[in-house]
Structure 1
Amino acid sequence: MSTQTNIRARLLISCHDQPGIVSAVSTFLHQYKANIVQSDQYSTDPSGGMFFMRIEFDLFEEGYDFTIVRQAFANVASSFKMEWKMDLASRRKKMAVFVSKEDHCLLELLWKWRAGELPVDIPLVISNHPTLQQEVESYGIPFIHIPVKKDNKAEAERQAIDKLLQHDVDFIVLARYMQILSPDFVGTFPKRIINIHHSFLPAFIGANPYAKAFERGVKLIGATAHYVTNDLDEGPIIEQDILRVNHRYTTEQLRVAGRQIERIALSRAVAWHTNDQIIVHGNKTIIF
Structure 2
Amino acid sequence: MPQYVLTLSCPDRPGIVNAVTGRLLEHGGNILDSQQYNDLATDRFFLRTVFTAASATGPLQASFRELSRGFGMELSLRDRSHPRRVMLLASKFDHCLADLLYRWRIGELPMQITAVVSNHPRETFRHLAFDGIDFHHLPVTHENKPAQEAALWSLIEATQTEMVVLARYMQVLSDAMAARLAGRCINIHHSFLPGFKGARPYHQAHERGVKLIGATAHFVTADLDEGPIIEQDTQRVGHHDTPEDMIRIGRDIERRVLAQALRYWLDDRILLNGHRTVVFAV
For the residues of structure 2 that align with 1:184 and 1:212, how far apart are their CA atoms?
29
Give 1:1-288 correspondences, 5 Å limit.
Answer: 6-45=1-40, 49-60=43-54, 64=55, 66-130=57-121, 131-136=123-128, 138-288=130-280
Higher alpha-carbon deviation: 160-169 or 68-77: 68-77
Query: Which residue identity is paired with 1:126?
Result: V
Deviation at 1:138, TM superposition (A): 4.1
For the residues of structure 2 that align with 1:266 and 1:122, how far apart are their CA atoms?
16
Deviation at 1:45, TM superposition (A): 2.3
For the residues of structure 2 that align with 1:99 and 1:241, how far apart are their CA atoms?
21
| Runs (5+) with no aligned partner, structure 1 | 1-5
Query: Which residue identity is paired with 1:82?
Result: M
Deviation at 1:189, TM superposition (A): 2.1
Q: Does structure 2 retain, via aligned residues, the 8 Å contact 1:136–1:142?
A: no
> RMSD of the TM alignment (CA)?
1.4
Where 1:226 maps in the other structure, the secondary structure is strand
Q: Does structure 2 retain, via aligned residues, the 8 Å contact 1:173–1:194?
A: yes
Paired position in structure 2 for 1:3: none
Distance 1:197 1:65, change over 3 A: closer
Instruction: Map Cα deviations across residues 174-193 of structure 1 (whole Å, 9 max, x no partner).
Output: 00000110122122222010
| Runs (5+) with no aligned partner, structure 2 | none
Distance 1:120 1:67, change over 3 A: farther
Distance 1:39 1:219, change over 3 A: same
Higher alpha-carbon deviation: 209-218 or 131-140: 131-140
Q: Does structure 2 retain, via aligned residues, the 8 Å contact 1:136–1:143?
A: no
Deviation at 1:136, TM superposition (A): 4.7
TM-score, normalised with respect to structure 1: 0.94
For the residues of structure 1 that align with 2:135 and 2:120, how far apart are their CA atoms?
10
Instruction: Map Cα deviations across residues 135-191 of structure 1 (whole Å, 9 max, x no partner).
Output: 455432111000100100000100111111111101010000001101221222220
Q: Does structure 1 retain, via aligned residues, the 8 Å contact 2:4–2:56?
A: no
Query: Which residue identity is paired with 1:10?
Result: V
Higher alpha-carbon deviation: 236-245 or 125-134: 125-134
